[in-house]
Chains A and B, each alone.
Chain A
């Protein structure tokens, strides 16, 4: 097949993936509203088909351009969307048995891909020399993996804040009539966390998983909090590695490993915020909602690093074109 045909296949598969994700997203939300297992099965099948199309699109892009298919923002967006959906299906649904967040993860991917086709599309072509390096392949992969995990962590954090608020409301409503229920670590987070002031790593999967007996669709606030924490604590070292790989590449390409270029600066800011999040979790009294806010600021900073810096702030990192 010719390059042009591959390029066309890539674009078509991209659109297929985007529409599959949209359908699966709608399905996931309908499932949340009506809680029919059949709806979940169907939307999951559509999401898997979307993943397949997304993979085809990325592979065809690589074949059309004769290089790794992650050389510009359009391509990163495609890969990021793919990883977030896979993360939702494999990590959230598979490992943690949380089905209620998949729709939000799909929404993230849909937005990412929609922005990519609308504003960031470029045809497949070779890389500019500055990007043509061994290290940037590693650097970009790490950055995208880290970003996709941060995105999932951000989604879990938002869900945590919503559920936590609902639980507090419920507790307040109950409190005015009857004494608060005895059960549920999730109801009084600070009391729970002060039991384990130096517990930097959330207690395992078991706490997050929905117990089959409980048949709860939405995990408890405490469970979501721990889920967010676990995901972010995996994303963080990957992001750290991405920043280091970027510095090594900068040393090769520009003769300095760090120059406070806007891209470097913002990945550092993102790093600092998540480092602050991890420290906050280690300090009792800063768990729960306050730490969650830090995680959301970190998530926002990630979006700035990704979009604002590439598109609006001038720097040496010339991928946007």
Chain B
């Protein structure tokens, strides 16, 4: 199995248009039958992103951004025709390179990431093709180029008072466990329901918790990110040449972090600084027109996402803290037209728009309110 997508286009942010750039995404996946019950699925994914997408960290608005990712995974699948159960142990490794400024080089990006996962999924078929799935993964994420300045300073300027006790170096590195539960089931004759719950427990082995004096406690930071998603999908054949798949996805996310915040220049401490709740809803429609084997496909979706921090206060334009918790709202609109042109090759046109707003007025480092659009065109090849 293989898919290659190559798109070129432009990205604009707050009315400023970026230069013409491109994105390429390639997936190659050989599968091997090992016996009556066991199969092996390997996959390799490689991508380059020169044009920012609406799902990116847009508010950073860095002058230049390019990303490359390489991911390899192996998954064994045990499935016996006499059993409802399928077991799938697997492992994956991902390397990400990110250049946010012109002076960063490939491999030297501050947020370059390595991600290991190893785990397993158990699936119980309820009524073919519907199933219930449970998965457990251990992971380790590391940022080889990110070392806290404070830990560097402690070594370089030893003897000077410019580092706290218990300071850590690889502050963003984390490991932990992801637990996932999901199921899909028909609801009546026309609707299919997908539901998923995931919980990601992360431990930061080098990041100590900041206390109300602005110093480090001996405790390590631990986060739990919980996500709950429901999707109702409604396939329909209007006539021989027109089929649609309507869907509505809604969900919620909760981050509970053991880390606090400390604004040193104001001597301001905020417990639970990172905790938030987020709600989102995404109605979408897929329209398939023409031949069933090579239809023209239109995908369109609108997304609304609102995040409220539980303890982080919004600031005014200068940075003075107000009395209300920080809230952000984001709208996204995406549409893609895919037209088969020859064999396995299709033409693709994508337009995406994101609009964000917030009660946070302090935007010296990050834009909380913006309009962003990107337009991309290219080809996709499936095999």
Q: Do A and B come from one complex?
A: no
- Residues of A bordering B, CB below 8 Å: none
